[in-house]
Structure 1
Amino acid sequence: MPPSDAEERAERESLGEMFKKLSTNLSTLIQQEIALAKAEVTQTAQRAQRSAKDAGKGAGMLAGAGVAGHFVLLFLSLALMWGLAELLNSLVWSSIIVAVLWAIIAAVLAAVGKKNLNEGKRELTEATQDPVHHTRETLTEIPDTVNPSKETP
């Protein structure tokens, strides 16, 4: 039975050379893992920063649109209230009808808004959950790399 590559190397190289290679390879591997971890964390932080910046801009625009829309709805509601008052001959009942309509609209908007906030929270949690998963995977392979019965490239 011919000797394996590892056995041939053991015959050619001294123990000191083998430990030197092991030390060099292990040092290189650790440096690469640290660099990978840094890159993954930086990438995740940049993605979260861009996401937060976009969300902030969007929130500001929506706030401005909300103020303008509020005035539009206020005057349309007043017009509807006065129009219903002409039909019903009662300003009180027309005011109550308009208020109930807006209560229904507010309830629907609140339910949809809560759903969207929960979805955004879930997506943000997923995006920032495990920023170093590649590093973790590679670190689990280190024991196999250091195993003397396996040949390393």
Structure 2
Amino acid sequence: MAGTIQQRPVRDEHTVGELVGQATEQISRLARQEVALAKEELAEKGRRAGVGGGMLGAAGAFGYAGLLALAATGIAALDLVLPLWAAALIITGVLFAIAGVLALTGRGQLRRATPPKPERTLGSVKADVEEIKGRAHR
């Protein structure tokens, strides 16, 4: 049997080094995906906060205009010219109504945007950790 060559049996199993390499690559990919998801979620919340802040700014501007109109109404009322102060009072009421609607809408937008933490991403990371723990115990 001097001419026979012994062959190693082919294994389907991976070495520990290969398994560690695969695990490292998978964990790295998972971490990158979670970071991308967190960035996307925070950008969405930032846009919503921007809209809410803009609406609150507009509410402030309309509120200021309302105060000016209210002052004009007071002056017109002292003048006792009914059509003038009535018109000024109507405009004042409309401006305050607009300011109120904008303030309530803007506040609602800000509440949905805060706190600025990526809640869906945190839930996804927790689920990933539980999955890894579950596989480690098998």
The letter of the residue matching 1:49 is G
CA RMSD of aligned residues (A): 3.3
CA deviation digits over 1:2-30, x for unaligned, max 9? xxxxxxxxx52222222111111100111
Shift of 1:47: 1.2
CA distance in 2, matches of 1:129, 1:18: 40
Aligned residue among 119, 122, 134 for 2:120? 134
TM-score (norm 1): 0.54
* Bigger relative contact order, structure 1 or 2 (CA pairs below 8 A, ≥6 apart): 1
TM-score (norm 2): 0.59
CA distance in 2, matches of 1:47, 1:123: 6
Q: Unpaired runs of 5+ in structure 2?
A: 1-11, 82-95
CA distance in 1, matches of 2:17, 2:71: 80
Corresponding pairs, count? 108
Quote the residue 2:32 is aligned against. 31
CA distance in 1, matches of 2:131, 2:68: 63
State the 4+ residue runs in structure 1 displaced beyond 6 angstroms.
Answer: 117-120
Quote the residue 1:49 is aligned against. 50
Quote the residue 2:65 is aligned against. 64
CA deviation digits over 1:26-82, x for unaligned, max 9? 0011111111112212221121112111221232133123312321243225529xx
CA distance in 1, matches of 2:62, 2:105: 20
Cα pair distance change 1:120/1:68, threshold 3 Å: same
Q: Unpaired runs of 5+ in structure 1?
A: 1-10, 81-108
Note the 1:109-128 alignment, pairs <5 A. 124-128=110-114
SS at 1:12 equivalent: coil
The letter of the residue matching 1:145 is E
Q: Comparing both structures, which one devotes a greater share of its residues to helix? A: 1
Identity %: 20
Cα pair distance change 1:58/1:119, threshold 3 Å: closer
Cα pair distance change 1:76/1:66, threshold 3 Å: same
Quote the residue 1:20 is aligned against. 21
